[in-house]
Amino acid sequence: MDVNAYFLLDDGNGSGGTLMPVRRTVSGTRPVAAATIRELLRGPSDAETALQPPDQPPFSLIPPDTLLLGISDVAEGIVTVDLSREFEAGAGSSVMARRLAQVVYTLTQFRNISGVLFELDGDLKAASDAGGKPIDGPATREHYLALLPPIFVDQPAWGATVSRPIVVSGKANVVGAAFQVQLSDGAGRVVARRSIGATCGTGCWGDWSATFDVEQMATERLWIVVSSLSGPDGRAEDLRRYPITLPPRQP
């Protein structure tokens, strides 16, 4: 079963990293939520970091010695995840918010999960939101919107093998809710482009989606490139690149 583990990417703006999904495959014979969290705790693989220039690899802020001790059954959309104490080691408020966000986004990709409660070594631990404010109750995706890039691609995941046509979707908070999504090949040549209008922008988060008809495209490695054109000189801003793989066209 294909699932997403949510890691971080340095956007070069000193933010400490923003969220991005990476595709992983887990066994369908195991509890999927627990198997997916174990994939998250493994951190990015060498193959995943090699897809991006060395100064911008995906990374995780969750300590590598963190263990999953247990995860409850879903009850009214809420799960409780029990992690070892290493999860909170050496974390200030900014780092802890990103660790929590990684777990929350990874678990809430499943439609039956909307919120997450945390335990450390079996003791209930109050989560904090993106700004470090304690959360009264389960942590949800909305608590960590500030840790998304301005143009967030949630589908397809980083490095995923996609089907035809390619559907790209996510959330955005950019000036005028307007931006561009394009596909480029390994040489940087633009092979398709769409102008996008999110459902909200200029201070609020909106949903967006774009479909690319690539039936005649033979190349296998593509990059999804998102950017807004809100700079004073028309330069692309909020730029982010996501590698994907297009399987060979069947004869």
Residue pLDDT tens, the chain, 251 long: 899 999 999 877 667 899 999 999 998 756 899 999 999 999 999 888 887 665 678 999 999 999 999 999 999 999 999 999 999 999 899 999 999 999 999 999 999 999 999 999 999 999 999 999 999 999 999 999 999 999 999 999 998 999 888 999 999 999 999 999 999 987 888 989 999 999 999 999 999 999 998 766 666 789 999 999 765 666 778 888 889 988 876 65
- First-to-last C-alpha distance (Å) of the chain: 26
pTM, two decimal places: 0.93
pLDDT at 167: 95
Q: Which CATH architecture is the domain 151-245 placed in? A: Sandwich (2.60)
Residue 226's Cβ-side half-sphere holds a number of Cα atoms within 13 Å equal to 29
| C-beta neighbour count of 235 within 10 angstroms | 11
pLDDT of residue 156: 96
Find out whether 139 and 100 touch, Cβ atoms under 8 Å: yes
What is the reported pLDDT for 15? Answer: 74
pLDDT at 231: 58
- Write out the DSSP string of 182-227: EEE-TT--EEEEEEEE-SS-SSS-EEEEEEE--TT---SEEEEEEE
Q: Which residues, in sequence order, are bridge partners of residue 42?
A: none
**Ranges of each domain in the chain:** 2-146, 151-245
